[in-house]
Amino acid sequence: MNRHHAFVIEAEAEEGIAVAQAWAEKELGMKMSNTECWTNPDMIVLRYGLFSVEDARNVCDTAAGAPFAGEYKVLIIAASRAYHEAQNALLKLFEEPPEGTFLFFILPSLGGLLPTLRSRVQILDFVSPQSYGGLTKSPHFGIVEEFIKASKDKRSAIIKKLTSGKDEEEKRELRDEAIAIVNGIEAVAYAKFKKSPSTELGALLSDIATLRSNLYDRSAPVRMILEHLSLVIPKDLL
């Protein structure tokens, strides 16, 4: 499996930044500081409130430069919200980052993430203790763990609950939980695949990659997606 170069993390800014930095240290051998300067010039952290089109253009300009001191460059973008137009402005960059550049986009909620951008990234909203030294857990860790470990009947009950909201507000909240489960399964499977590749895990990741481009569409068949994943999750995923 090819290494992903573009990621989205569902977390508050500082927590997500820590996750991205831990990934870069573990996977790329990068550190926040080196022997030549107090901070690593190839580990760039950008913080925003509402992420605008102008911000997106600045990010693209920053990403275009070659690494200063090493083989890789990591660009971490943390925002509280992102305009759809700004996300559209990132599409080309996230689809084809410059060689050696790794991108992380951190948002407190992925509910507003455009499907077109979502289809170009790997979700890292769940980080297992085994993967990154117990650094952090997604706020949805409990429901993800419960779903993965549940029996077939228990999973069916969870799916029924998550797809039977009484009003629009409840449906939205339940849908966010359903999306978190899918993202969590993907992240756990990806972390495990990195340690011990298998055909079964590869097939699961392939299934999720196929489904995820439509996952954030309001008309997406969330129930069918969860039911499908319920059937293909390996017994020993956690």
Asked if 106 and 76 count as a contact pair (C-beta separation under 8 A), the reply is yes
Give the end of a domain, one of 100, 125, 150. 125
Quick count: other Cβ atoms within 10 Å of Cβ 46?
16
Place of tokens 């992240």: 187
Asked if 69 and 41 count as a contact pair (C-beta separation under 8 A), the reply is yes
Give the end of a domain, one of 73, 95, 125. 125
Asked if residue 134 belongs to a domain, the reply is no
3-state secondary structure of 167: coil
Asked if residue 65 belongs to a domain, the reply is yes
Residues 5 and 93 in one domain: yes
Asked if residue 135 belongs to a domain, the reply is no
Residues 1 and 117 in one domain: yes
Residues 145 and 117 in one domain: no
3-state secondary structure of 45: strand
The region that residue 77 occupies, defined by phi over 0 for left and psi between -120 and 50 for alpha, beta otherwise, is beta
Structure tokens at 145: 């763990």
CATH number for the domain harbouring residue 52? 3.40.50.300
Residues 7 and 112 in one domain: yes
3-state secondary structure of 36: coil
Residues 96 and 192 in one domain: no
Residues 1 and 119 in one domain: yes
Separation of alpha carbons 131 and 36, rounded Å: 29
Separation of alpha carbons 130 and 50, rounded Å: 33
Q: What is the pLDDT of residue 25?
A: 87
Residues 67 and 154 in one domain: no
Residues 50 and 11 in one domain: yes
Residues 176 and 110 in one domain: no
Asked if residue 133 belongs to a domain, the reply is no
Domain of 175 in residue numbering reads as 140-238
Separation of alpha carbons 137 and 149, rounded Å: 17
Asked if residue 53 belongs to a domain, the reply is yes
Asked if residue 131 belongs to a domain, the reply is no
Residues 109 and 155 in one domain: no
Residues 35 and 118 in one domain: yes
Into how many domains does the chain fold? 2
Give the end of a domain, one of 125, 156, 185. 125
* pLDDT of the chain, 238 residues: tens digit per residue: 345 789 999 888 888 888 898 888 888 888 765 444 456 889 999 999 999 999 999 999 999 988 888 889 999 999 999 999 999 999 999 989 999 999 999 998 877 788 888 888 888 754 444 444 333 455 566 788 889 999 999 999 999 998 888 888 888 778 778 877 887 787 788 778 777 888 898 888 888 877 765 665 667 788 888 999 999 999 888 7
Measuring CA to CA, how many Å separate 105 from each of 118, 128, 179, 203?
11, 19, 17, 26
In sequence order, which ranges of 65-118 are alpha helices (DSSP H)? 84-95, 115-118
Q: What is the pLDDT of residue 129?
A: 40
Q: Position 123: which residue type? A: I
Residues 161 and 90 in one domain: no
